[in-house]
Amino acid sequence: MTFINQARAVVDQAELYATRRRVIQVRFAEGALDLVAHRDTSACALRVIADGKLGASFAEAPSKRLLDDARETAAFGQPAQFSFAPEQTYEAPPPFDPATGELTAGDLIDVAVDVRDRIASAAPDAVVSLVCEAESGRRSVETTGGAAADEPFSRVTLGVRVPFASRGTGVGATARWFSPGPAVVADAWLDGLLERRDWGQAASVPESGRWPVLLMPYASSLLTLTLATCLSSDSVAKGASPLAAELGERILSERLTIREDPAHQESPYARSFDDEGVAVRPRTIIDRGTLTGFLTDLRGAAELGQAPTGNAARRTMFSEKIEDAPTPGWLGAIIEPGEPSWRTLLGEIEEGILVTRMSGLHSSNLLQGQYAVHVDGFHVRGGKPIGHLERTMLAGNVFEDFVTLRGISCECEPTARKEMEVAGLAPYMLLDSAQVTVG
Amino acid sequence: MKEKLRAALEGLDVDYADIRFDEECKTQITLNTGRVESIATFSPRGGHVRAYAKGAKAIASFSRIEDARRVAEETAAAARAAAVHAGQAIGLADAPVVEEDFVVSTPSDPRAVSLGEKTDLLRHYDGIATAIPDVLMTQFMYDDSYAHRVFANTDGTLVSYEHLISNILGILVGRRGDAVRRAYFAVGGSANYGRLRDREELLRQSLTDLEELLSARPAAAGIHPIVLDPFGAGIFIHEAFGHTSEADMTRREPMLRERLVLGTEIASPILHVSDDPTILDRGGTYPIDDEGVIGRRVSLIREGLVAGRMHSRETAAAFGESVTGHCRASDAGYEPVIRMSNTVIESGENTLDEMIASIDDGYYIAGGAGGQGGIDFTFGARWARRIQGGKLGEMVSDANLSGNLFTTLKGISMVGGDQQLFEYCDCGKGSFDGVQMTTRICAGAPHIKIDAVTVGGVSG
């Protein structure tokens, strides 16, 4: 008898989420191999509805204790306002390369050495740090309602950091490359990394004030993470979101269209179902600046009286973890590209900044769309980066700063956040002006 | 368990190896605006192996104790194979061999408290909060965690030790008109469940702050002198200097190593900072770390001079310094890395009144709503007040601070005599394995005055 059938015999409903993961990593520090790591782990999360109440438990594998623990917690739980996912069909599974599961540490060392040596030949003075990782496994969700989702995943990841000469090894140009399986890292990707390293050889900052801000694709999370808080069914249902009554209204620049497509085949974290076993479907959330939908999990959908959108994820703002209760969020936000190239947008900036990444967003009042973050990037003058930023904060409100968006590039790049196991696609976005404060 | 781990290491062809196996029991209860959003128990278990051979290193995580020997052998082989590509050989500083069982004791053990009583306590606090008309939604999260860890290494150390902690974190969201603001309520940070009870006064103060915050205007961006309250100063020293004093953060940073040479002037001479895992009954309290080294107090800044740093055995060897017992892992899925324990600014001689009176145009900053560390650090205030003409004024919202470590430490011009250690706090640290989020720490400080800090307020 399967575990879910055992559960069916003693509770009203049950949902079993399980993962199996094999990870091999190699790390190079200052050009030399520093660490080889293996991780072979499994984990599962059980949610039950017993006597109408919700409970949960977690362990490394299904067991009678797992079921008993979940039943015990349900005795103190809240009456469940929703049911676990019913039987449904799942569309295209994510790209999967079985060769990834066969990779050895030696194979990954070869990839890292190749990249290290190519960088060294182009920039002999560069001190390179790399992490190369092969990850493969399966994730599944099975419910007593008939949902039975099961898919493999595979990723090869290469993270590279090339420091700016003036700032030690910790501050420099960084990039992360993904592939479903073994592949050769493209020259263009390395060229972009080295170009950013060249821009940052000296430090330079603008005066504090309002300046044009060009966000690189990875920095687009300034918009998407802030929006996620406001689009979450939890904050919408309770009226805490400023977007609760804005469906059909224009809230951002008409230049902005944001789709949610978790199964997008270019995403390294593509998936055909969310963490509650609900099939994902491509949807438009912002259509030329107009709000067209929210992000819901099963609970939030029930509260809003809507069908679930398949946006449940077991994670916090910082990390994916199976113990985290499912909450709604982006699983594959895709910001549609515009027309000009990013170099054209850069060339339009007489004085301003180019932002590569930010930190401290979680300290902001995201429920109101506000942000105040420390930013890394470059000071731009006369359309050219002239040095890397130091001691620079960027602050504002997305519902003001992204209304007057000056331009969106035609190029899109993956915006994967490894720690949250989520990825999207984003272009470069040029804000007309935002508050830049330099300490 | 001990014999299984000792046997797993026996006869390995390595210079050094260690193995750890964790068995945990956790409880999490989340109450969302009066409704039990989730209630769950966890019983994760798993192990972690480290092997060093010919100057190279390999690590592995595994789930089943039955796999310990196989994983140890594979990890040893991986370390030997890696030696071909290794650079400078990885060394380990000497550490005393320890054979002991460390048992946690507490006057009120959270494991002895029923799920029903824990849930009722959250409902009680939630009831107080939701009775306030401006409170739109609440989230009260209870968690407790018990871990039993056994550690063995090839030096002969064989220990078992326990961690036990319980916390409540409340997030209170208020709305008045278009203004939506948050306040926080955080208690616990120890093995003593009793610390969670009877905290209504603290909760009511948070609700009073929230009500005032709903009428507050956002802070203006700029560079200002500030007074940090003890909680904010604790977050500041954790983010601004604590992370930089973790020796793995500076080991490969020539500029930082140069600026943090022991005895170098780094701060004003009135500043004394230490990290101490032996302070009783705090979030960062532990007897022994996850590489079998007894935790000890480290003076980080003494009279403004760099006095020490926190080490693992690897970094202690790299710096030629002694081990400190600061190498910890969130759980079996992670390699231990250097983490702060209880990081404090020691009390000085100034009063809060003196600090406020000395500021013509600045801010009083209360608490911390998260932050990130490094040479350039950032953290958010829970709320702030204008200081004008030497007097405390109106409350302002959305004051996020940013600064440079070196200039900010030298800008500390007053230190109060009213040190407080806060209770609940987690710290995340990015590492090779990912971000280790759940390591418990504590920080504390008296009020301090900093002469110039960048306030990244929303308005210009």
CATH of the domain at B168: 3.30.2290.10
A51 contacts chain B (CB < 8 A):
no
Nearest CA in chain B to A71: B40
User: What is the C-alpha separation between A345 and B108, in angstroms, rounded?
Assistant: 62
Is the four-CA dihedral A186, A191, A194, A199 of positive or negative sign? negative
Measured between CB atoms, which of B39, B182, B437 is closest to A77?
Answer: B39
A69: CATH: 3.30.2290.10
Residue B382 lies in a domain: yes
**Structural domain count, chain A:** 2
Amino acid code (one letter) for B78: A
Q: Evaluate if residue B60 carries a pLDDT over 70.
A: yes
For residue A319, the model assigns a pLDDT of 63
Q: Residues B60, B187: one domain?
A: yes
Nearest CA in chain B to A327: B37
- C-alpha separations of B361 from A189, A391, A436, B315, B452 in Å: 48, 21, 20, 44, 11
CB atoms closer than 10 angstroms to residue B186: 20
User: What is the C-alpha separation between A172 and A151, in angstroms, rounded?
Assistant: 37
Nearest CA in chain A to B50: A37
Name the residue range of residue A115's domain: 11-199
Q: Which residue in B38, B49, B248, B404 has the most chain A C-beta atoms within 10 A of its own C-beta, making it the best mutation to test that interface? A: B38
Residue A5 lies in a domain: no
Q: Cβ contacts (< 8 Å) between B407 and chain A: which residues?
A: 439
Question: Where are the strands (E) in A382-423, listed by range?
Answer: 384-388, 392-397, 405-414
What distance in Å separates residue B35's CA from the closest CA in chain A? 6
Residue B198 lies in a domain: yes
Whether residue B329 contacts residue B321, with contact meaning beta carbons closer than 8 Å, is answered with no
Contact state of A29 with B35 under an 8 Å Cβ cutoff: no
Whether residue B76 contacts residue B14, with contact meaning beta carbons closer than 8 Å, is answered with yes
Amino acid code (one letter) for B82: A
Contact state of B46 with A60 under an 8 Å Cβ cutoff: yes
Residue pairs between chains A and B whose CB atoms are closer than 8 Å = 279
- C-alpha separations of B205 from A281, A400, B141, B217 in Å: 46, 33, 19, 20
Among the three residues B215, B240, B272, which one is the final residue of a domain in this structure? B215
Q: Residues A144, A218: one domain?
A: no
> What burial class does residue B198 get, using C-beta atoms within 10 Å of its C-beta: 0-12 exposed, 13-18 middle, 19+ buried?
exposed
User: What is the C-alpha separation between A79 and A81, in angstroms, rounded?
Assistant: 6
Residue B432 lies in a domain: yes
Average pLDDT of the residues in B175-181: 88
**Mean pLDDT in runs of 10 for chain A (439 residues)?**
91 96 91 90 93 92 93 90 95 88 93 93 88 94 96 93 69 83 86 92 90 94 88 89 93 96 89 96 96 96 94 77 86 95 97 91 81 90 95 88 94 81 89 88
Among the three residues B183, B215, B247, which one is the final residue of a domain in this structure? B215
Contact residues, A window 142-171, toward B, CB-based 8 Å cutoff: 167-171
Contact state of A238 with B26 under an 8 Å Cβ cutoff: no
3-state secondary structure of B121: helix
List residues bridging with A313 in a β-sheet. A327
Q: Residues B186, B248: one domain?
A: no
Measured between CB atoms, which of A169, A234, A395 is closest to B457?
Answer: A395
Q: What is the ipTM of this complex?
A: 0.85
Whether residue A268 contacts residue A157, with contact meaning beta carbons closer than 8 Å, is answered with yes
Q: Residues A234, A191: one domain?
A: no
For residue A416, the model assigns a pLDDT of 76
Contact state of B42 with A59 under an 8 Å Cβ cutoff: yes
For residue B72, the model assigns a pLDDT of 97
List residues bridging with B401 in a β-sheet. B379, B455
Amino acid code (one letter) for B305: L
Nearest CA in chain A to B81: A106
Whether residue B292 contacts residue B48, with contact meaning beta carbons closer than 8 Å, is answered with no
Contact residues, A window 289-318, toward B, CB-based 8 Å cutoff: 299, 316, 318
Q: Evaluate if residue B400 carries a pLDDT over 90.
A: no
Placement of tokens 């030690």 in the chain: A168
For residue A142, the model assigns a pLDDT of 97
**Structural domain count, chain B:** 2
* Encoded tokens for A85: 């996912």
Residue A398 vs residue B433, higher pLDDT? A398
For residue B147, the model assigns a pLDDT of 95
Q: Residues B8, B75: one domain?
A: yes
Average pLDDT, chain B: 91
Q: Evaluate if residue B34 carries a pLDDT over 90.
A: no
DSSP code, position B55? T
For residue B427, the model assigns a pLDDT of 78
One-character DSSP codes across A49-100: EETTEEEEEEESS--HHHHHHHHHHHTTSPBPSS---BS-----PPP--GGG
Among the three residues A146, A167, A199, which one is the final residue of a domain in this structure? A199
Q: Residues B133, B275: one domain?
A: no
> Largest alpha-carbon pair distance within chain A?
71
Q: Residues B233, B211: one domain?
A: no
List residues bridging with B26 in a β-sheet. B42, B145
Q: Residues A387, A329: one domain?
A: yes
- Using only C-alpha atoms, chain B has a radius of gyration, in whole angstroms, of 23
Average pLDDT of the residues in B260-277: 95
Q: Evaluate if residue B460 carries a pLDDT over 50.
A: no
Residue A375 lies in a domain: yes
Among the three residues A136, A167, A199, which one is the final residue of a domain in this structure? A199
3-state secondary structure of B244: helix
Q: Residues B312, B446: one domain?
A: yes
Among the three residues B168, B188, B215, which one is the final residue of a domain in this structure? B215
Name the residue range of residue B227's domain: 218-455
Whether residue B164 contacts residue B26, with contact meaning beta carbons closer than 8 Å, is answered with no
Cβ partners under 8 Å of residue B363, min gap 6? B219, B224, B226, B227, B384, B385, B386, B387, B396, B399, B455
Q: Which residue in B25, B32, B36, B256 has the most chain A C-beta atoms within 10 A of its own C-beta, making it the best mutation to test that interface? A: B36
Contact residues, A window 257-286, toward B, CB-based 8 Å cutoff: none
pTM attached to this predicted model: 0.89
Q: Residues A303, A231: one domain?
A: yes
Q: Cβ contacts (< 8 Å) between A363 and chain B: which residues?
A: 368-371, 378-380, 400
Q: Evaluate if residue B372 carries a pLDDT over 70.
A: no
Q: Residues B238, B319: one domain?
A: yes
- pLDDT tens track for B204-233: 999 999 999 999 988 888 889 999 999 989
Average pLDDT of the residues in B152-181: 94
One-character DSSP codes across B102-117: E----SS-GGGS-HHH
> Largest alpha-carbon pair distance within chain B?
72
Residue B460 lies in a domain: no
Q: Residues B175, B244: one domain?
A: no
Residue B325 lies in a domain: yes
Contact state of B253 with A169 under an 8 Å Cβ cutoff: yes
Residue A59's nearest CA partner among A23, A21, A16, A24 is: A16
Backbone angles phi, psi at A122, to 5 degrees: -85, -30
For residue A274, the model assigns a pLDDT of 96
Q: Residues A79, A225: one domain?
A: no
* Encoded tokens for B13: 């062809």
Whether residue A338 contacts residue A301, with contact meaning beta carbons closer than 8 Å, is answered with no
For residue B433, the model assigns a pLDDT of 46
Contact state of B58 with A37 under an 8 Å Cβ cutoff: yes
CA dihedral B370, B372, B378, B384 (to 10 degrees): 10
CA dihedral B338, B339, B341, B347 (to 10 degrees): 100
For residue B432, the model assigns a pLDDT of 45
Percent of chain B topping pLDDT 90: 73
* Encoded tokens for B311: 């080490």
Residue A3 lies in a domain: no
What distance in Å separates residue B56's CA from the closest CA in chain A? 7
Q: Residues A219, A295: one domain?
A: yes
- C-alpha separations of A439 from A209, B359, B374 in Å: 12, 19, 15
Nearest CA in chain A to B43: A59
For residue B139, the model assigns a pLDDT of 93
- C-alpha separations of A311 from A162, A273, A296, A369 in Å: 36, 9, 6, 20
Q: Is B252 left (phi over 0), alpha (psi -120 to 50) or beta?
A: alpha
Q: Residues A357, A385: one domain?
A: yes
Measured between CB atoms, which of B36, B404, B435 is closest to A318?
Answer: B435
Contact state of B180 with A390 under an 8 Å Cβ cutoff: no
- pLDDT tens track for B401-420: 888 888 899 999 999 999 99
Q: Residues B335, B388: one domain?
A: yes
